[in-house]
Amino acid sequence: VVAYAAARHITVVPEIEMPGHAQAAVAAYPELGNHPDVPVEVSRTWGVHEDVYNAEESTLRFLQNVLDEVLDLFPSEFIHIGGDECPKKQWRESAAAQARMRALGLKDEEELQSYFVRRMDAFLFARGRRLIGWDEILEGGLAPRAAVMSWRGEEGGITAANAGHDVVMAPTTYTYLDYNQTTDPSSEPLSIGGYIPLEKVYSFDPIPAGVEPEKAHHILGAQGQMWAEYIATQDTLDTMAFPRLCALAEVVWTSKERKDYAGFLTRLKEGHLPRLDALGVKYFPL
Ligand code: ACM
């Protein structure tokens, strides 16, 4: 995968999720979780689950061992550590987690998550890489070198950029390509919901107004999300990705003054859709 992508000038950035979205790992290695005496199963459905990693030294070491293997495989400068959707319930209720927080002088569970991420930031930096995580890593304090993917809207990205951190904008409001593209979901493949038509994607400005002009260079770009829980076939994936991905591509490489939705539509219809047809891409009809 890495070589195939590299031959096409694409860098694959792996994401190893922590400290949340960890239920499968905790099921396999109960000592990584917060209630080792009560077995947990691998979840049969997606969602945000309460079983998260503990922040013990041994668990951090386990994850750093995992990252070492990841670094051997993936040459990317950035390594994504997730950081999103980590419920703090188990840390609040666990005597061991509370003792760990006291020993580290941390005032709340958000600071424990921040401590966790800082340790990974230092670990990756020492190996010549850079940590990136979803915007929840701002909570409890952003690790010194961390870059942020702003998904819960643009605010996290604006805050991080203004504080001098690099940012990839990925807001649910414009860039979640797994969302519906009409107001009649029955006309579309089953999806997670939402409503992001083509024109909405095109209206996206990767450098939102709140970013101070001298910090704009911290916005590295934007990312379209294609979570695949509901996507069972290549045709459905094509339908969700195209042509919205064309709109996203144009708005991240075009200056704001040169954006032109009517012109985009003409070029799409006359120039690009025939290419997609030739490639057999089952794009959503205009
Ligand atoms: C996300 O969609 N949980 C980043």
What pLDDT sits at residue 113? Answer: 98
Q: How sure is the predictor about 193, in pLDDT bands with cuts at 50, 70 and 90?
A: very high
Cα 84 to middle of ligand 1, angstroms:
6
What pLDDT sits at residue 98? Answer: 98
Strand pairing of 15-18 and 78-82? parallel
Cα 269 to middle of ligand 1, angstroms:
32
- Which helix (DSSP H) or strand (DSSP E) does residue 162 occupy? helix 155-162
The answer to whether the bond into 213 is cis (omega within 30° of 0) is: no
What pLDDT sits at residue 138? Answer: 97
Q: How sure is the predictor about 125, in pLDDT bands with cuts at 50, 70 and 90?
A: very high
What pLDDT sits at residue 241? Answer: 98
Q: Ligand 1: does its nearest atom lie under 6 Å from the Cβ of 151? A: yes
Q: How sure is the predictor about 283, in pLDDT bands with cuts at 50, 70 and 90?
A: very high
Asked whether the CA dihedral 277, 251, 7, 228 is positive or negative, the reply is: negative
Cα→Cα distances 40→51, 91, 230, 278, Å: 8, 16, 25, 48
Ligand 1 mutation pick, 81, 135, 151, max ligand atoms within 8 A of CB:
151
What pLDDT sits at residue 77? Answer: 98
Indicate which atom in ligand 1 lies nearest the CA of residue 149: 4
pLDDT digit string, tens, across residues 133-180: 999 999 999 999 999 999 999 999 999 999 999 999 999 999 999 999
Indicate which atom in ligand 1 lies nearest the CA of residue 85: 3
Q: What is the mean pLDDT of the chain?
A: 97
Ligand 1 mutation pick, 134, 177, 226, max ligand atoms within 8 A of CB:
134
Cα 204 to middle of ligand 1, angstroms:
18
Nearest Cα residue to atom 2 of ligand 1:
151
This prediction has a pTM of 0.96
**Stretch 192-201: mean pLDDT, rounded?**
97
